[in-house]
Structure 1
Amino acid sequence: MQASPALERAAELVALAVNARLQSGGAAMLPLEAADRQAWRPNCAVANCYASGAVGMAAHSDRMTALGPCPIIASLSLGATRCFRLHRTQRVDLWEGAGGTGSGSPHDTAVAAGADVVRVDLQLAHNQLLVMWPPTQETWKHEVTKTSKPFTLHKRSGATRFNLTFRRMKPGWEHRVPTCRCGRPAVMKAHVPKQPIQQQQPTRQLRYYYACESDGRTKASCGFFVDVPHVATLA
């Protein structure tokens, strides 16, 4: 689908903000994200609408099937202020440059609050940009919480919040996706330890797998599962 001029302009401004952070040395792309030796530029945007406090998004990590491991994802909030909650799923050794204070990464808050922080709540206001630096998708789940409590309304949209999530789909990754036994493309996810956060040992290696995924309504998983050869190393 062709993007509108307004969306193209928004993507340009988001890219400027992300690349300014990268060029300042306050954050870093992992080797796979930087493999083409070009500045970060989104080529995909996902829009969500939260019409009221009764509408939310359950905890999840974004699919990496077409993004590849350790993507940069930039989320632009428009309208009412809502709570964006992150839950840590895996402990990793944070490397220098992964996202310094003020980058909008949950890792910044984790460093400030202590290595064992397992939940981060952010109140995202109108026109605020949250950048999820790598390896956020591998080590955290995020959600927009439902609420019956008062929250800050927007003068034009009222209780409605819109969200534009910008990301870069990497050429070639969609061609690697295997077909599961039920005939549909598998999805790529990161391995997450079964132990609670407090019992995990920090790691510098992230591993991935392809699996069949239920849609929660009409499609049950066929049980397909295969490990991805690629391992992302945090160094």
Structure 2
Amino acid sequence: MASEDTDTLLAILASLLPEPTPTHDKLLDALVRAEGDVQAAAELLTSSSGSNRCAFPSFSQNASPSQTDGTPRGRKRKGLDTWLQSDDTVPTKSRRTTSQERVWEPPGPIKPPSSTRLTSNSSHKTKNAFDILYQPYRARSPSPSKVAPSSGDASLKPPSRSKRPPSSAEKPALSVNDVLRPPPSTAHNPQRYPPLTLSTPALIAQHTPCTLHPSILPPKLACDVFHTMLVESKNWSRNRWYLFDRLVESPHTTAMYTRSGDGESEEVQDLHKVAADWYNGAKKDPPRKFPEVVEEACRIVEKAVNEEMAKRQRFPLEWAGVHPSDGGEKILWRANFCAANLYEGAQESVGLHSDRITSIGPYATIASISLGTTRTFRLREVIPVDEQEIRSARTFNIPLSHNSLIIMHGSTQERFKHAVPPQTVLDRFRPQYPPPPSLPDLHVDPGNCRINITFRFYRPDFHPDKAPRCACGGTATLRPDMKKRQRETAERGETERRGEGEFRYWWTCTAGDQNEGKTCGFWKVMDVRAEGRGPLVMDL
């Protein structure tokens, strides 16, 4: 006998009995004895002898003669007539409002059985048991359209109540979630899709502007680079910067390497400035030269990147200069520095971000090689503001195994953010070849480590000295308008009309990364013509 059906069963049971109707307690006791069977309870009550029709014992064994009918001591006995009275006839102090009365609402239109009738004294009309039972709820229902009283029955109308302003004690308390949570949007919400795992080069090329090479280096060279960089990682550090006025630290270690050798040459000094910008403006030691095995791997990666770029349509703001080549071959992309990262264990990670393009320029190409244990590379598209009601962003997960190369072609940094999320488990990596004898002992367990080397091309036309200076005295940072906000302005499609592509870029102050979050607020739209950038693909 469910709690929400008790009143219904009592009303039906009362309608089946002749006058006078037994007390509420006796009706309930009979239902309990009959295990919720209304017909059986009615037979128990009608078959009992005596003036009270029910010879059930009192609820208290020590009850006085005046309490043998089951009415508890000190409580006024109430009959069916009192129960049928309207709410406005019940004294306010003696009336008790249960939580069920306040919040319960019939789930839908209920058709009362025509055979079940409940009759009160002659002063009351003959009413359906369901009408009497649901009358209090209809009177208090916050939405009368859900449960409308039947026409012509004035007794089912809500009782009149005096209007008075609610006291502070009667005002409902607000939940903190209701205060912090924004109101539901009335705009159309596009369909959301679950994350999609891209496990083959064909799927990656279909859904993202990236290319995957599952095995890029010779196996022996791949293991040598892995062990060499593990030894190098002993001197790597975690980046620190301010985010929302709080000092944060990257959850992995990192270091910068340049392809040029140590020295005082102009190219080396330029790359040192690039490295300083790469560390969020923090002062670091000058980057070191590529180890010999990394230089050998870089030449293989560089060849694969140029082959892929020759197959693709280039973007207007890409660099169109010619790199020096020993064999006379035209080189579109040459890696001259890299960022190396170590992810030790399953919890070391990096959140969603797009790489800084201050020194590598718009539509940059980045080649990332993975060595060691397999980790997930996550891509998530940034939806433009004028398309957010049409489609939603989707997440793509790409498992990167040992010796795999993923090339992030032009527009990846403009359209997507990427991450290496933490994992609950890892597949332990077992190198195919041991470390070279010339290397010292490893300071970490190679079985749960991933080395990631991201090769980049530093563009001469984005020399650090050519970048705008903000009021803080530092170099401004170049960022793309990933949400294409220009489409909301009067200059709609301005960059497209100029032939510069679909994205706009701006320079902004990021001195707050190392200045306790304080910036000068500098902001300026990039103008490639006024700033003398190039040569560019759109000029060819």
Q: Shorter-normalised TM-score: what interval?
A: 0.7 to 0.9
Q: CA deviation at 1:32?
A: 4.0
Query: Is it true that 1:22 corresponds to 2:319 in the alignment?
Result: no
Q: Which residue of 2 aligns with 1:56?
A: 349
* Runs of 4 or more consecutive aligned structure 1 residues displaced over 6 Å after TM superposition: 231-234
Alpha-carbon distance in 1 for matches of 2:319, 2:467: 21
Distance 2:481 2:520 in 1: 19
- Aligned-partner residue type, residue 76 of structure 1: I
| Structure 2 unmatched ranges of 5 or more | 1-287, 323-329, 385-390, 432-445, 486-492, 530-535
Query: TM-score, structure 1 length as denominator?
Result: 0.77
Are the counterparts in 2 of residues 189 and 210 from structure 1 also a CA contact under 8 Å? Answer: yes
Q: Aligned match of 2:524 in 215, 226, 230? A: 226
Query: Partners in 1 of 2:448 and 2:349 — Cα distance?
Result: 12
- The yes-or-no answer on 1:170 pairing with 2:459 is yes
Query: Are 2:482 and 1:192 aligned?
Result: yes
1:158 aligns to what? 447
Shift of 1:85: 0.6
TM-superposed CA distance for 1:186, in Å, is 1.1
1:53–1:221 Cα change, 3 Å: farther
Q: Kindly, what percent of the aligned residue pairs are identical?
A: 32
- List runs of 5+ in structure 1 lacking aligned partners: 92-114, 196-201
Tell me the secondary structure at the aligned position of residue 122 of structure 1.
strand
1:35 to 320, 329, 341: 320
For 2:306 and 2:537, the matched residues in 1 are separated by 22
Q: Cα 1:152–1:220, aligned 2, differ >3 Å: closer, same or farther?
A: farther
Q: Which has the larger radius of gyration?
A: 2
8 Å CA contact 2:354, 2:418 repeated in 1 = yes
Note the C-alpha offset of 1:216: 7.2
Kindly provide the amino acid, as one letter, of the partner of residue 50 in structure 1.
Y
The 3-state SS of whatever aligns with 1:142 is: strand
Provide the TM-score with structure 2 as the length reference: 0.35
Between Structure 1 and Structure 2, the one with more helix by share is 2
1:135 has 2:135 as partner: no
Compute the displacement of 1:16 (Å): 1.2
Within 2, Cα distance between the matches of 1:36 and 1:194? 28
How many residue pairs match? The answer is 203
Q: How much is the aligned-residue C-alpha RMSD, in angstroms?
A: 2.7
Instruction: State whether residues 375 and 420 of structure 2, in contact with CA within 8 Å, keep that contact through their aligned partners in structure 1.
Output: yes
Q: Secondary structure at the match of 1:22?
A: helix
Structure-1 separation of matches of 2:426 and 2:519:
38
> CA separation in 1, counterparts of 2:335 and 2:383?
26
- Write the distance in 2 (CA, Å) between the matches of 1:206 and 1:230: 13
Deviation at 1:221, TM superposition (A): 2.9
Distance 1:216 1:139, change over 3 A: farther
